[in-house]
Amino acid sequence: MKKVLFFVLMFFTSHFYGQTMEEYFNRGYSKFNLQDYKGAIEEYTKAIMIDPNYSNIYYNRGICKRNLQDYEGAIEDYTLAIELNNNYSKAYNNRGYAKTELEDYTSAIEDFNIAIEIDPKYIDSYNNRALAKYLLNDTDGACLDWNKAAQLGNKHAEETIKNFCK
């Protein structure tokens, strides 16, 4: 009887409490889509506790932190994602964006440069680098990046060029 009770208890415990990294990740993603960023962070953190070597978890948690205006926390998560996958152009871009929000424009430009080096057609990195350059009073450099973004098909960049570039 004790053996049967033990196996029943083990079955229910593992069935209800033995969540996988993927389950936590998917729940985090669902909460993110519902704009429950704090809930998503909790789920992503649980996924990390199971598998700390999956770069997308840190990246997604970083997006949640950025959306909550926790830019330092976002930078930490994007950095962890990059450490696990140094070709993660989106993580470099988003880390640069968070640095821009903290007015660390020079360091942000370095991240955008790497993102563009990895993916030369990544329009967001050109737009974001242009903004950082503009905020550093490098209008010529900003206009070059907005022109590149426009060449790649970004309509917003075309409007920006009309307003800021001569």
**Which DSSP category does 18 fall into?**
-
CA 73 centroid distance within chain: 11
Using a cut of 0.85, tell me whether the model's pTM lies above it.
yes
CA distance 157 to 41: 32
The CATH architecture to which 20-86 belongs is Alpha Horseshoe (1.25)
Mean pLDDT over all residues of the chain? 92
DSSP 60-113: HHHHHHHHTT-HHHHHHHHHHHHHH-TT-HHHHHHHHHHHHHTT-HHHHHHHHH
Q: Is the pLDDT of residue 38 over 90?
A: yes
Check residue 2 and give its pLDDT: 52
Asked if 89 and 113 touch (Cβ cutoff 8 Å), the reply is: no
| CA dist list (Å): 155 to 35, 51, 111, 158, 166 | 27, 40, 23, 5, 17
Q: Is the pLDDT of residue 16 over 70?
A: no
